[in-house]
Amino acid sequence: MSLDIWITYVATVLLLMSTPGPSQLLMLSNSATNGLRRGLFTAAGDLTANFLQMLAAGLGLAALIATSATALTVIKWFGVTYLVYLGVKQILKARMSEAQTAPRASRKSLWMQGFITSAANPKAVVFFAALFPLFIDAALPFWPQFAILSSTYLVMDGMFLTAYGGSASWLARRLQGPAKLWLDRIGGSFMILAAILLGLKSLRPSA
């Protein structure tokens, strides 16, 4: 893969990541509530799902998944329901008095939240299957190019998620009392907003 093609790919991915989606909103919420270190487990879950989606695209499973509208719908609405549940739970937890200390989410739970949120967007497999061929030279071996594109995307996504999480964690450390409770409520609202965004994502391009 030539350097100019790789740079074009990086620029394309930057444009695609310029607006926050469900995973970024979840990262904001979890990092604000649990701190950046624990929030990174949410990012790890998201990136794990992305890797599996890329692998599925690379193995040619995208076409099979795209033809199963029922499976896509079930996966998507499971993720939407899960995010709404998490958001409502966090908003209710914010009602606790300042004298009570709400337990932080476990690392496993944070990882699972990130994984499910990303995996609940089954169109991502189709997206990767459509994106990668634009930058792959058919005259060169496929898998080395695929590895470069996949690793570049994961590194960039990880950097974006860390930046979101770091900003949310920094703000949370400087808020106390009622302001902190409102931050928790906003975090829960972010989760619900993430669910709405995920629900609005069309599973198939319009004709």
In angstroms, what CA-CA distances link 38 with 12, 35, 43, 98, 170? 30, 6, 9, 22, 13
Chain center to CA of 108: 16
- Torsion sign, CA atoms 195, 20, 114, 120: positive
Which is more confidently placed, 79 or 11? Answer: 11
Residue of 57, 18, 78, 98 lying closest to 198 (CA atoms): 78
Mean pLDDT of 10-32: 84
**Is residue 11 one of the residues assigned to a domain?**
no
Mean pLDDT of the chain: 78
The H or E element that residue 128 is part of is: helix 123-131
Please give the pLDDT value at position 88.
79
pLDDT digits over 105-142, tens only? 788 989 999 998 888 876 777 788 878 888 888 788 88
Q: Domain of 30?
A: 23-200
**Is residue 3 one of the residues assigned to a domain?**
no
Instruction: Report which DSSP code applies to 140.
Output: S
Mean pLDDT of 11-31: 84
Question: pTM for this one?
Answer: 0.73
Distance (Å, whole) CA 52 – CA 112 = 14
Number of domains in the chain: 1
Please give the pLDDT value at position 79.
66
**Is residue 207 one of the residues assigned to a domain?**
no
CB 172 within 8 A of CB 33: yes
**Is residue 14 one of the residues assigned to a domain?**
no
**Is residue 149 one of the residues assigned to a domain?**
yes
* C-alpha torsion angle, residues 182, 105, 198, 194 (rounded to 10): 10
Q: Which of 111-115, 162-166, 183-187 has the lowest mean pLDDT?
A: 183-187
Please give the pLDDT value at position 205.
46
Contacts of 34 (CB under 8 A, 6+ apart): 104, 105, 110
144 pLDDT exceeds 50? yes
**Is residue 28 one of the residues assigned to a domain?**
yes
**Is residue 150 one of the residues assigned to a domain?**
yes
**Is residue 133 one of the residues assigned to a domain?**
yes
47: confidence class by pLDDT, cuts 50, 70, 90? very high
40 pLDDT exceeds 90? yes
In angstroms, what CA-CA distances link 179 with 72, 154, 182? 40, 34, 5
157: confidence class by pLDDT, cuts 50, 70, 90? very high
